[in-house]
Amino acid sequence: MKVKVDIINYIEKNILPQYGDFDKAHNLNHINRVIENSLEIARSYPVDINLIYVIAAYHDIGMPKGRKDHGNHSAEILLEDRNLDKWFSGDERTLMAEAIEDHRASLGHEPRSIYGKIVADADNDLEYRSILMRCLWHSLAHFPGHDKDTHFDRIFNHMIDKYGENGYLKTWLNSEHDMRSLSEIRHKLTNDRKGLRADFDELWNLEVQT
């Protein structure tokens, strides 16, 4: 099953361009990766691929209203978009909004549907170097006064808190890919801090000194 062409056209024309001015950790590149990840995960489950695509496309759209509550803001924007009535029922739009509200890694409860679980796992984007780069982008954007070593220490501690053995990250569907990637990340954090620092230095040189 493929996403309907007219839905793709609407999203690409009216929704995705809004991410153009977002910070690098939540810009269009990130959204496209989450869409790609979501569609890939969804292949293993009996879900409507059109709903998956729209949820992934809208999941961070409320970020300008505040990072802390951006899931709720993003859900509100989806619910207020009456153009979606062309393709989705009221119940479907509610389902998509709930999945968007439930996508955050720090969520205090399990996503209410398989749709929320798919997009939450897709949003984790568990690729080691991608995570390290997103952490660097976020740190540079929000703590511009930090020096290089302070940025590294902050990122390392954040990664321990989120991705470590006792971290708050939740993976709901435990795909083979995610489990393998998470194991790699935890190895770096626990047993190879020097390697992690070397990778950080490489990304720092690419991002800051070029």
Q: Which pLDDT value is given to residue 120? A: 93
Per-residue model confidence (pLDDT) at position 103:
83
- CA torsion through residues 158, 164, 167, 171, sign: positive
Residue-level pLDDT at 97: 97
Residue with tokens 């009456």: 82
User: Which pLDDT score is estimated for 175?
Assistant: 86
The CA distance from 200 to 170, in Å, is 24
| pLDDT for position 141 | 87
For CA atoms 117, 99, 127, 105, give the dihedral sign: negative
d(CA 185, CA 128): 6
Matching CATH number, 5-124, of 1.10.3210.10, 3.30.710.10, 1.10.3720.10, 3.40.50.620: 1.10.3210.10
Which residue carries 């991002």 as its tokens?
207
Left if phi > 0, otherwise alpha if psi is -120 to 50, otherwise beta: which for 125? left
* pLDDT tens, residue by residue, 74-90: 999 999 999 999 999 99
Domain boundaries, the chain: 5-124, 128-207
Closest listed residue to residue 39, CA positions, set 53, 25, 26, 51:
53
Q: What is the pLDDT of residue 163?
A: 94
> What's the average pLDDT block by block, 10 residues per block, for the chain (210 residues)?
95 94 79 94 95 97 80 94 97 97 78 95 90 92 93 96 92 89 93 95 86
Q: What is the DSSP string of 96-117?
A: HHHHHHT--TT-SS--SSHHHH
Q: Which two tokens mark 190?
A: 């626990």
